[in-house]
Homo-oligomer: A and B are copies of this chain.
Amino acid sequence: MQYMFIENFKVRDYECDMQRIVNNAVYQNYLEHARHEFLCQRGVDVGALAKEGLNLVVIRAEVDYKRSLTSGDEFYVGLNFSMQDRVRFRFEQTIHRKSDDVICITAVVLGTGVTTKGRPKVPKEIVEKLTS
């Protein structure tokens, strides 16, 4: 499969839980970090926008857990981006374990922008940077 962006990771022991596998919430951290690195590469800095009063937020996440990662596993997150509609970002993300290229997670994450007062706002420059 072809991705617009790939981010490499290695499981850290503190990310594993009593089941000795990566805790299910931690995959959301991995997925978020990959999205932010993609955005950053396109010139969209989530932290800087937050300071200016615009929060890029997740509005829906669908995550399928197919295989578990465990201590020491190396993996990457592949990411494709498109506009779901005029105001919603769509990220398709897949986590591949490197040792055997098995798919561990597939996810569709929808996001948008909101002001600190809760009003929706998706500046055109951002859309242009992400879709060009």
- List residues of A whose CB falls within 8 A of some B CB: 12-14, 16-21, 23-26, 28-29, 32-33, 36, 40, 45-47, 50-51, 55, 57-66, 68, 70-72, 116
A72 CB to nearest chain B CB (Å): 7
How many monomers of this chain does the complex have?
4
Query: In the bound complex, do residue A65 and residue B58 qualify as a contact, i.e. CB atoms below 8 Å apart?
Result: yes
Query: In the bound complex, do residue A57 and residue B19 qualify as a contact, i.e. CB atoms below 8 Å apart?
Result: yes
Query: In the bound complex, do residue A13 and residue B33 qualify as a contact, i.e. CB atoms below 8 Å apart?
Result: yes
Main secondary structure on chain A at its contact with chain B?
mixed
Q: Which residues of B contact A25 (CB under 8 A)?
A: 14, 25-26, 28-29, 32
Q: Which residues of B contact A45 (CB under 8 A)?
A: 71
Query: In the bound complex, do residue A24 and residue B72 qualify as a contact, i.e. CB atoms below 8 Å apart?
Result: no
Query: In the bound complex, do residue B36 and residue A13 qualify as a contact, i.e. CB atoms below 8 Å apart?
Result: yes
Q: Which residues of B contact A58 (CB under 8 A)?
A: 24, 65
Query: In the bound complex, do residue B33 and residue A14 qualify as a contact, i.e. CB atoms below 8 Å apart?
Result: yes
